[in-house]
């Protein structure tokens, strides 16, 4: 991720208690969000930060439009990922991070890269659906049922029991032969 995810909090340090807002954005690189993001749209982060009693409080709302594949019908679609975070950074932690090149300005900057990345990854659904009621594919002929109805008779067997049913059928046949 590029360095644009760093915020300069020096103004907040001068005015304790005051809330500052900043809008950040970046174009995700392939592999940033998932194996195959198919997304070139910018990720935006609305950041709110303030400083009080030696602690920076940073709130962020991350939004990203991400290309993914429906877990039921396998159609590609774009999904809006939204996630929020609240993080505290105490002045000592911030100073520690700048130890490598003891620069005061660096000490007043907070790098949100890792946070944003973690928050986005956490927001990616385990089984994305193009829509909540996506009917998926016909179990018999594979036609996407959202677009067409096939002539197949939909069997009422729970898909989890299907394998078992097949197995039973096979055993039955064997018994007859």
User: Would you give the DSSP letter of residue 88?
Assistant: E
Backbone phi, psi, residue 162, to 5°: -60, -45
Q: State the residues that interact with Zn ion by CB under 5 A.
A: 70, 72-73, 130, 134, 138, 140-141, 150, 152
Closer residue to Zn ion, CB minimum distance, 83 or 137: 137
Backbone phi, psi, residue 20, to 5°: -110, 145
For residue 138, the minimal CB distance to Zn ion (Å) is: 3
For residue 129, the minimal CB distance to Zn ion (Å) is: 6
For residue 144, the minimal CB distance to Zn ion (Å) is: 7
Closest by alpha carbon to 24, among 49, 1, 7, 41? 7
From residue 79, give the alpha-carbon distance in Å to each of 47, 62, 71. 22, 13, 13
For residue 132, the minimal CB distance to Zn ion (Å) is: 10
Closer residue to Zn ion, CB minimum distance, 93 or 140: 140
d(CA 45, CA 67): 18
Closer residue to Zn ion, CB minimum distance, 2 or 125: 125
Closer residue to Zn ion, CB minimum distance, 152 or 164: 152
């Amino acid at each position: 991720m590029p360095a644009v995810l760093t915020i300069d909090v020096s103004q907040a340090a001068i005015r304790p208690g005051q809330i500052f807002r900043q809008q950040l954005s970046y174009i995700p690189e392939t592999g940033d969000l998932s194996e195959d993001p198919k997304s070139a749209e910018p990720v935006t982060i609305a950041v709110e930060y303030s400083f009080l009693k030696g602690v920076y409080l940073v709130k962020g709302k991350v939004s990203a439009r991400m290309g993914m594949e429906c877990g039921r019908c396998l159609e590609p679609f774009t999904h809006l990922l939204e996630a929020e975070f609240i993080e505290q950074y105490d002045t000592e932690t911030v100073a520690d991070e700048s130890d490598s090149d003891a620069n005061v300005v660096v000490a007043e900057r907070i790098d949100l890269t890792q946070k944003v990345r973690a928050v986005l990854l956490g927001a990616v659904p385990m089984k994305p659906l193009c829509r909540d009621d996506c009917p998926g594919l016909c179990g018999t002929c594979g036609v996407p049922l959202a677009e067409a109805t096939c002539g197949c008779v939909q069997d009422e067997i729970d898909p989890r029991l299907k394998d078992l049913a097949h197995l039973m059928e096979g055993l039955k046949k064997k018994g007859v032969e």
